[in-house]
Amino acid sequence: MSLKLLLRALTVLLVLCGVALALLVFRPTRLEPVPPQEAVDTVAAQPLGQFIALDAPLPAPELTFTGRDGAAKQLSDFRGKLVLVNLWATWCVPCVEEMPALDRLQAKLRPDLTIIAISQDRRGAEVVEPFLARTGIKHLGIYLDPKSAATNAFHAQGLPTSILIGADGLIRGKLEGAAKWDEAAMVAVLQRYIVK
């Protein structure tokens, strides 16, 4: 009886070891470093949908994405302009809700502000084009990033995320979550960054 019990215990142990080994072998290869607790507390303290200006502007990352025509574009192609990069996706409800306000904002502040709406949809133009046709978005520069390189480059915690980049290529501020972009208060915030 005790030999049977011992064999069962060994069998269970071997199965558990096999599962643990499989988890180690098939886990994602990219591991993110754990941020210090004060960084986590700072991010958690920032309200969603509120523009947070950076005390010390940071250089915008090197980033490649594509136009709707499939041509490669670089974020640096927009240097010399005040740029609002908006990371969004067609499946993201807050993203979809804020797109008309972004479109109106672009119409209102062009040419002083260039909005680059970079879709993070994995299926790219296949889902973005029908979305644009359905919603009538016409003023925004729409770009595609099916591999989510922009989300990683900007360390976005989720979608939508918007990043304001000055004409000098430095990140001036960030907004995580949806916003009412064309409301007077938000327009006033953005106009502070427009250099005439």
For the stretch 145-174, pLDDT in tens is 999 999 999 999 999 999 999 999 999 999
**Superfamily name with CATH number, domain 49-191:** Glutaredoxin (3.40.30.10)
Instruction: Kindly state the percentage of the chain with pLDDT values over 90.
Output: 74
* C-alpha span between 137 and 132 (Å, rounded): 6
Label the pairing between strands 83-88 and 114-119: parallel
State both tokens at 131.
Answer: 């979305």
Structure confidence at residue 73 as a pLDDT band (50, 70, 90): very high
Structure confidence at residue 12 as a pLDDT band (50, 70, 90): confident
Structure confidence at residue 16 as a pLDDT band (50, 70, 90): confident
Task: Delimit the domains of the chain by residue range.
Answer: 49-191
Residue pair 119/90 in contact by the 8 Å Cβ criterion:
yes
In this structure, which amino acid lies at residue 48?
Answer: L
Predicted local distance difference test score (pLDDT) of residue 48:
65
Predicted local distance difference test score (pLDDT) of residue 25:
59
Predicted local distance difference test score (pLDDT) of residue 88:
98
The burial class, CB within 10 Å (0-12 / 13-18 / 19+), for 181 is buried
Residue pair 119/129 in contact by the 8 Å Cβ criterion:
no
Per the model's pLDDT, the better-predicted residue between 32 and 109 turns out to be 109
Alpha helices in the chain (DSSP H): 2-26, 37-45, 93-109, 125-135, 149-153, 184-191
**Global pTM?**
0.76
